[in-house]
């Protein structure tokens, strides 16, 4: 009886050891899968950034009369540069309607009605803008917003909008940074957060079109040259 109990105890110990080994194997397999997914995602993001640079994509930024996806907003400043940093367009633009004194966007970009009095209207510059953007790859921080602003500003003037492909630098950087939310999506990072990391110190966002374009160009080059943060291994 004593020998049987010892044997039974040893069997239980072996079963526990086997279960522990199975658990460790599953953990190792999960880790390997995550590493493979991470490497694949890293290469995809870096390749996209490098492709945009190789294609001489345009970098675009706007300042507008409203915040968020306001359907009444218009562009009051637009800048476009190429990946060499050449300025292709940079101008204040007088909107159809003046901004109210309590307009919250003024506190962000500091562009007031009196600054815009002698600026060209969209109808004065739309052909030049269209000529630059037509059939081009375009990169912008919060790309969906900037594309919507361009499209609805053209629409307000009854003018045809050029066709171009927009790439969102915010989505690109947020995936590179890899801060996952509870829904397993990448949390969006503000431009000031991205540039503070890239420049190695606090970056005070200009909230003006041209310097923000130049910052996005630096961000694109950074993502193209650097591996993603090792979010699974910290």
Decide: 191 and 170 in contact? Cβ < 8 Å. Answer: yes
pLDDT at 131: 97
Q: What is the DSSP letter of 92?
A: E
Residues written for the chain: 234
| Cα distance between residue 159 and residue 36, in whole Å | 48
pLDDT at 22: 76
Which helix (H) or strand (E) element contains residue 34?
Answer: helix 2-54
Divide the 234 residues of the chain into consecutive groups of 10 and give the mean pLDDT of each group.
67 76 70 60 85 96 78 87 97 82 64 83 96 97 93 92 95 81 70 88 82 95 82 46
Strand 58-64, strand 137-140: pairing = parallel
Distant-in-sequence, close-in-space partners of 135: CB < 8 Å, separation ≥ 6: 162, 163, 164
Which helix (H) or strand (E) element contains residue 64?
Answer: strand 58-64
Residue 196, Cβ density class (10 Å: 0-12 exposed, 13-18 middle, ≥19 buried): middle
pLDDT at 233: 41
| Cα distance between residue 103 and residue 67, in whole Å | 9
pLDDT at 164: 97
| Cα distance between residue 187 and residue 214, in whole Å | 23
Decide: 134 and 108 in contact? Cβ < 8 Å. Answer: no
**Distance from first CA to last CA of the chain, Å, rounded?**
52
pLDDT at 51: 94
Tokens 């190429």 -> residue: 82
Q: Encoding tokens for residue 22?
A: 């199975």
Which helix (H) or strand (E) element contains residue 168?
Answer: strand 165-168
Decide: 179 and 189 in contact? Cβ < 8 Å. Answer: yes
Look up the pTM and report it: 0.79
pLDDT at 179: 67
Decide: 77 and 150 in contact? Cβ < 8 Å. Answer: no
Q: What is the DSSP letter of 186?
A: B
| Helix, strand, coil percentages for the chain (3-state, nearest 5) | 55, 15, 35
């Amino acid at each position: 009886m004593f020998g049987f109990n010892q044997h039974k105890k040893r069997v239980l110990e072996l079963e526990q050891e086997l279960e522990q080994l199975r658990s460790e194997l599953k953990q190792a397999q999960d880790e390997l899968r995550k590493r493979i997914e991470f490497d694949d995602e890293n290469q995809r993001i870096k390749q996209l950034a490098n492709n945009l640079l190789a294609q001489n994509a345009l970098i675009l930024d706007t300042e507008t009369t409203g915040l968020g996806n306001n359907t009444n907003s218009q562009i009051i400043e637009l800048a476009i540069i190429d990946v060499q940093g050449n300025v292709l367009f940079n101008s204040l633009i007088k909107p159809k309607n003046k901004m109210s004194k309590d307009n919250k966007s003024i506190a962000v970009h500091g562009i007031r009605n009196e600054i815009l009095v002698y600026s060209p209207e969209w109808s004065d510059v739309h052909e030049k803008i269209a000529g630059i953007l037509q059939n081009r790859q375009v990169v912008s921080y919060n790309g969906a917003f900037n594309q919507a602003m361009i499209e609805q500003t053209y629409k307000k003037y009854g003018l045809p909008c050029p066709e171009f492909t927009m790439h969102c630098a915010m989505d690109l950087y947020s995936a590179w940074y890899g801060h996952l939310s509870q829904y397993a999506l990448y949390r969006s990072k503000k431009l000031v957060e991205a540039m503070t990391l890239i420049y190695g110190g606090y970056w005070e966002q200009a909230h003006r079109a041209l310097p923000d374009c130049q910052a996005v160009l630096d961000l694109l080059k950074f993502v193209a040259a650097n591996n993603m943060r090792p979010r699974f291994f910290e």
